Amino acid sequence: MKNLNGYSPSSKTVAAISTPQAPGGIGIVRISGPQAREIAGKVFTARHGKTLDEIKGYTALYGRIHDGETDIDEAIALNFTSPASFTGEDVVELSCHGGLYIMRRVLKAVFSAGAVPAGPGEFTRRAFLNGKIGLTEAESVMQIISAQGEQAAKAALAGHDGALEKKIIKIRDLLIETAAHLSAWADYPEDDIPQVNPETLETTLLTAKTEIERLLRQFDAGKAIREGVSTVIAGRPNVGKSTLMNLLSGCERSIVTEYAGTTRDIVEDTVILGDVPLRLSDTAGIHTTDDPVEKIGVDRARGKVREAQLVLAVFDSSRQLNGEDRELISAVQGSPAIAVVNKSDLPAEIDMQYIHKYFQHIVYISALSGEGLQELKDAVAEVLRTAELNPADGILFTERQRDAARQAGDCVREALLAVESGITLDAVTVSIEGAISALLELTGERATEAVVDSVFSHFCVGK
């Protein structure tokens, strides 16, 4: 996709620091555009006298970087020639020592030599506009960078390798073939074009509908492994909430004593449980109290339970249920929740029939010893539907992608309804073309400049 709405990605040579803006062993300043080698040559001198124009792509030179007056640092200049580069343009990467002062001096020298600052996601945007990657592949770049666990990293890499785009293209091509047959049959009745079979048409549309709905169903699970899940540990005082928090955190995040009401405010931490990042909140024990400070903590705990994406409702197996337990059970109905029956190493007094009546997912653990932790991991994966997610299959990453898939699904359902209702095939064709248009926007083949701007505005500068 080139020259989108008049924008030419190759009109200027841009530069930015592509490594984190923090001290490190190595820092990289990336230059991309038609004058990349010329600009780099003004600030870089190879030790043995060769120039970047004299070496092949994917080869490097060792030398020094200077600003025309003084040396800045020793460096390696890595040369990439168009179109065999990430952006599809001539690219030079200057690798120097990773001090902030040094990197910024090198970048300043590159700007003085003729480059202009790269915007957020500028290099990936140019790769997209130059046809090196599709829009879904470009979006997966930030998912790779922000991945917090193995599943998220696998899903992002699969997206970058084109797994999602291949799925979308398969659905799109199926609909394009169907729309072409409908149009040809309607426009050229005298020609020897096979008649449209309503049953075959319905089967094709049902196939497209099923594939789109499968992608949409996986979105929430994919979002959970990418962004994490707001998770609240709730229960009455002294059931072991803080002990569970410490078990999941792997350190003493919450104060644990034999006295009830130790936790008065919300203690937060982010942990990886299985493959899912959980943004944990250990809350004050839910109960009635006259202590004004403790009451604030209890009110905050109730609020957290209402807002949570997942609730770990903790119960003490060695004690009978009371009104505060029942209040919590009532509060979590209709929300994703797991009953965590703690202190399983002690004699049981709890009414498990009552727990089973209100919870689909129940786990027995000893937060003190860690027994039952694997069962809790499995239950979380089941509740969040991450257990059935295969990251290599290709999943929807962003709200933009989900909205486009949802639009395509709505259009396919309209087409199916038209077929079932016996409406003219012209109306069916219009709905199918609407679905095709939504899928083309999803892959970026028919994306507006506003959509492209929105996608790359979320990128960091230098990528």
Q: Omega into 83 within 30° of 0, i.e. cis?
A: yes
Q: Given this model, what pLDDT does residue 426 score?
A: 80
Nearest to 248 by CA among 219, 218, 216, 280: 280
Full-model pTM = 0.76
Rounded Cα gap, residues 236 and 284, in angstroms = 8
Nearest to 89 by CA among 157, 39, 141: 39
In angstroms, the Cα distances linking 459 to 46, 142, 172, 432 are 33, 7, 28, 33
Q: Given this model, what pLDDT does residue 10 score?
A: 56
Task: Map residue 406 onto helix, strand or coil.
Answer: helix
Rounded Cα gap, residues 121 and 136, in angstroms = 14
User: pLDDT of the chain along its 463 residues, tens only?
Assistant: 344 434 455 579 999 999 988 888 999 999 999 999 999 999 999 998 899 999 998 999 999 999 988 999 999 999 999 999 999 999 999 999 999 999 999 999 999 999 999 999 999 999 999 989 999 998 888 888 888 778 888 888 888 888 999 999 999 999 998 888 787 655 555 555 566 678 888 899 999 999 999 999 988 888 888 888 888 888 888 888 888 888 887 644 443 334 344 443 446 778 888 778 888 887 655 544 444 444 455 556 566 677 778 999 999 999 999 888 888 888 888 889 999 999 988 898 899 999 999 999 999 999 888 899 999 999 999 998 888 888 788 889 889 999 999 999 999 999 999 888 887 778 888 999 999 999 999 988 887 788 888 888 878 888 8
Q: Given this model, what pLDDT does residue 263 score?
A: 42
Rounded Cα gap, residues 123 and 36, in angstroms = 13
Q: Given this model, what pLDDT does residue 389 score?
A: 83
Query: Who's near 375: CB < 8 A, 6+ residues apart?
Result: 363, 364, 365
Q: Given this model, what pLDDT does residue 257 score?
A: 37
Dihedral of CA atoms 86, 89, 95, 98 in degrees, nearest 10, equals -70
Structure letter (DSSP) for residue 340: E
How many Cα atoms are found within 13 Å in the side-chain-facing hemisphere of 25?
A: 0
Q: Given this model, what pLDDT does residue 81 score?
A: 94
Instruction: Indicate the residue type of 99.
Output: G
